[in-house]
Amino acid sequence: MATDIAQATAGGTHAASEHLKLEDRIWLLRAMLLMRGVEDRAMTLYRQGKVPGSFYDGFGQEAVSAGAAFAMASEDRLCVLHRDLAAHLIRGVSPARIFAQYMGRAAGITGGREGNVHFGDRRVGCVGMVSMLPDMMLVAAGMAMAFKMRGEKRCAITWFGDGSTSRGDFHEAMNWAGVQKLPVIFVLENNQYAYSTPVDKQFAVDPVERAAVYGFIGVTVDGNDAEAMFEATRVARERALAGEGPTLIEALTMRMHGHAAHDDMKYVPKEQVDEWRTRDPIERQEARLREAGVDVDEVRQQVKAEIDEAVQEALAGPMPDPSSATEGVFCEGEAEPLGDGQAPWSGFQR
């Protein structure tokens, strides 16, 4: 049950996956540090009035997208949601382009045509999200259907929140994926709240148990453990490619910030936040790597320098030319894919 969070996330360290080399484990830390650092800086830019609209982050949830995205191959396809920036970073989208995106600049992924988290670079296999939750589950299932029909060994993945499980789209996607045994991975980010609604007001039965009634496996994973997320996703992907169908991965985590920049989350008990603070995913990965002899402070400094440079680059970039507003809105031709070996996600030993 979702209420057994302490049990599911207790014990701190999860046995490292034998599929992760030390450099991969450092990459997981880097991805999480980049996500946190980029979002922290973007929040400042938002408060300075440089980011239009609102601002959403995934503080405290970095392991969910970092671990899962790291298990996916370059030919796979990802529907990345609003708390999952590490997935974009792992696929090779640079921090400078992300800052430019947030600020609506020409160098952003959508070139100023869409706001904040509504982006995806199809050259790296990421599909831009829409806000109608959880429509991306249906998009991921649709892509998986195409892979199956074409006989391609590829897998689709999407993330979504606990709030999504209360919607009909969730059930449609789960049902079709189960019936068709689609090569798709559903990552349910159970971060305890859908806006101000706690999980005990959302469902009477933990949604991970719904996978069984649609004919496939549901597993609960410590969502604050990047290596556990990686391993669960790797196994799910292997199953999908072997024709064994979808997997629902419930990642237990906590939304440590408000829903968006405007939300002070005063509806969340302070003790709950304090308890989850002791399970910070970045601190946990750092502790592991220190034990393995890695100079974690150096990794932190490198990431900070990269972010400083990226902010300056994005701030120096122009706003888009208004006359180009209707260009690139619809899909035109095939995207030029990045090859294996050019992006960090292809690093681990399969």
Ligand X SMILES: Cc1ncc(C[n+]2csc(CCOP(=O)(O)OP(=O)(O)O)c2C)c(N)n1
- Please give the structure tokens belonging to residue 60: 């405290």
Q: At what angle do helices 62-70 and 22-47 cross, to 10 degrees?
A: 140
- 17 vs 164, beta carbon nearer ligand X: 164
Return the bridge partners of 249, or none: 187, 219
Site residues (vs ligand X, CB under 6 A) = 83, 131-133, 161-164, 167, 189, 191, 193-195, 255, 259
Catalytic residue among 123, 195, 267, 277: 267
- What lies within 8 Å, CB to CB, of 260 at 6+ separation is 54, 55, 56
- 25 vs 255, beta carbon nearer ligand X: 255
Verify whether residue 255 is a known catalytic residue: yes
Catalytic residue among 122, 167, 259, 300: 259
- What lies within 8 Å, CB to CB, of 100 at 6+ separation is 106, 107, 108, 109, 313, 314, 317
Verify whether residue 46 is a known catalytic residue: no
- 9 vs 190, beta carbon nearer ligand X: 190
Q: At its nearest, how many Å lie between ligand X and the CB of residue 21?
A: 31
Q: At its nearest, how many Å lie between ligand X and the CB of residue 162?
A: 4
- 237 vs 255, beta carbon nearer ligand X: 255
Q: At its nearest, how many Å lie between ligand X and the CB of residue 223?
A: 11
Residue type, 246: P
- 58 vs 320, beta carbon nearer ligand X: 58
Verify whether residue 195 is a known catalytic residue: no
Q: At what angle do helices 168-180 and 135-150 cross, to 10 degrees?
A: 20
Helix/strand/coil for 53:
coil
Backbone CA torsion sign across 34, 40, 46, 50:
negative
Q: In the chain, at which residue ranges do the beta strands (DSSP E only) sit?
A: 77-79, 126-127, 156-161, 184-190, 193-194, 197-198, 217-222, 247-252
The residue with its CB nearest to ligand X is 161
Q: At its nearest, how many Å lie between ligand X and the CB of residue 275?
A: 18
Catalytic residue among 36, 83, 255, 284: 255
Q: At its nearest, how many Å lie between ligand X and the CB of residue 1?
A: 17
Catalytic residue set: 255, 259, 267
